[in-house]
Structure 1
Amino acid sequence: MKNIVLGVTGSIAAYKACDITSKLVKKDINIDVIMTNNAVKFVNPLTFQTLSSNVVNVDMFQDIKYWEVNHIELAKKADILLIAPATANIIAKIANGIADDMLSSVALATKSKIIIAPAMNTNMYDNPATTENIEKLKKRGVLFIEPGSGVLACKDIGKGKLADVETIIEVVDFELNKTQELEGKNILVTAGATIEDIDPVRYITNNSSGKMGYSIAKESALMGANVILISGHTNLSVPYGIKEFVRIRSAKDMYDEVVNRYDNIDIVIKAAAVADYTPQKKADNKIKKSDTDMSIALTRTKDILKTLGENKKHQILVGFAAETTDVENYAKTKIQKKNLDMIVANNVSMEGAGFLSDTNIVDIYYSDGSKTHIPKSSKCEIAKLILKNIKDKFVK
């Protein structure tokens, strides 16, 4: 079981730490809470004790009869020290090596990863002293989760709100579970649907949700890779841990962004649904309807995978094939024609598979003629298996 020490300081956002505790416990993570003296004025320690099933630490010298612990033991126990919310005061203490209470002492004594989620008045956050303290800690490897902007408790408007609980959980989950399996590898992932404009209000697109590509990007980052995610249209949030995110609209945009980065990439995973055709000409103004039929002349878009295959040097090239019939034949033909190392193929007409589903059913075909079948699974699990197969077969 993973262990997190959660530091809660004297901010009005202290109540949100209760939700953080609850969500982390549900992930089967042991939580030890340390509250500052000011924090207990906002939330009763009994709340955290109930949520975490552990004694809450406040006083450096409190007498805990049924579980011996001190700041050194907590510092050693932590896989991560998370301070959320973190006031300007605790940030200043940690930055300057002050250890005058339980939380600052644990922060000074621990060798674990420290994650800080600030929450304070916008003027305090923007104060040069706070800015300098944050920069000082970042240089030491402390990870900061940027606060949000909006109306603060003091009615000021600006930056200083505690980051969303889900964002904090995502960051903690990533830092707890990341590995070095693909460390140092530069991976480019494409995802989502391209949009080909007909006129200023109409376009040609497809049903791709981007879920598969985003899952692959997220899992690649978790495995330690430097990930570039080039995305067409989706309704998804950018996964945490991505090195570079590029939003594109058309097939031409995606072609340009991918090709321009290709030389420095180790692994390309083309999960995007790219349009095969685009209107020959985009109308400058909205096309008005008439009483007669109309047709739109289409021209072939540049084949990104084929271009990459023709110019492949050291790269591992992975394609996707979304079909409705004769999936295996199309997949094997695509491997040969486009000089791929591997292709992930699926029948999008099957129940539980396809663009909009949270699950998929795929077959992976390799350039050596072998094949791996993955039965109905979540796209997250499929992403893990795709990357495992890439690593085991191709990464040296």
Structure 2
Amino acid sequence: MRFADLTTLRVGGPIAHPHEARTRGELVDFVRAHPMQEPTGAAPRKTPDVLFVAGGSNLLVADDGFDGPVCLVRTRGIDWQKPDDSGVVRVTVEAGEDWDAFVAQTVDRGLSGLEALSGVPGSVGATPVQNVGAYGAEVADCLTHVLALDRVTGEEHLLTADRLGFGYRTSVLKRSAAEAGAVRWVVLAVTFDLQSSGAGAAADAPGDGAGAAVRYRQLATALDVDLGTRVPVAQVRRAVLDLRASKGMVLDAADHDTWSAGSFFTNPILSLVDDAVGRVTPADVLPEGAPSYPVLDHRTGEADPAVVKTSAAWLIERAGFSRGYSVGDGLASLSTKHTLALTNRGEARARDLVELARHIRAGVEEAFGIVLVPEPNLVGIDL
């Protein structure tokens, strides 16, 4: 068994010690059999001690593979509760469930909250780690809590949204793994509160109720509505899937533009606080003409005045890297549909993707002084 067979990038070497967990109990047993020592504050280990693989959509593993234990998370199960008096349906999903298949079920039931996240590859359990987001929506918007197992203590914890420290493509779960160099919190199940099409509607009754307000201009344009308009959830899902497909972001074995990990680099977040002069403006830190976006605080919904976000795609393109750009023998390239995805053109190895990523990151830094941060989890690889 190889990581190339389990990841959307379709690269990565052999798996020496695979273990499949099909139930929550089997996943718990694996985690408790592979405890992690309490982090000491020293530099994180370069290679994790254990890997957990589910959808494989956010993982780039070296061509040498991984010598440690690998848990294949295949847990299944969805618990749909009845709507409360305000029409909110609480749903608890096992970590190994396919994300888009779950989103499709919420849309079929006329539940709003996740429709703009249609087409995102991967598993449900991975979404809170990365705080997956697209088209103006994020998992943090409707997640209530995560059931997670602490590998240090072996104990299960209900981590509420406020304890998860959500930010742009990050959470406590992700930051703790980065600090230790290995996963500490293993997600067992995720619980969401979703709005039904009408207060008191049956949770199992199909519907086509209005979704959350459209908050992303490209999606609003595709739907031919104004920003802030509420659109039926099924209509939003269809529009999002069409948009993602136009960018090669819906998995298709016949389309090499989809042999990727999605957006390879996160949109940079730059500080607006200068130690020498105090508060500065976005124009002071961004390249001329670069787009700027607010960074919202999930607790308050207000923009954080200390930071500004810009577009990684804009930086990549303005640094001279166009769609389809490649280096070396061209086995890996930027997507031919947009510049945020690094793609396997059919016969790439992990080292081909790494070479391309390094080249693009260095070019952006040379052009703008901004260091791009990779979004996928890198195993046995250092950019």
TM-score (norm 2): 0.24
Which protein, 1 or 2, shows the higher relative CO under an 8 Å CA cutoff with sep ≥ 6?
A: 2
Compare the two structures and name the one with the higher helix fraction. Answer: 1
Who wins on radius of gyration, i.e. which is larger? Answer: 1
TM-score (norm 1): 0.23
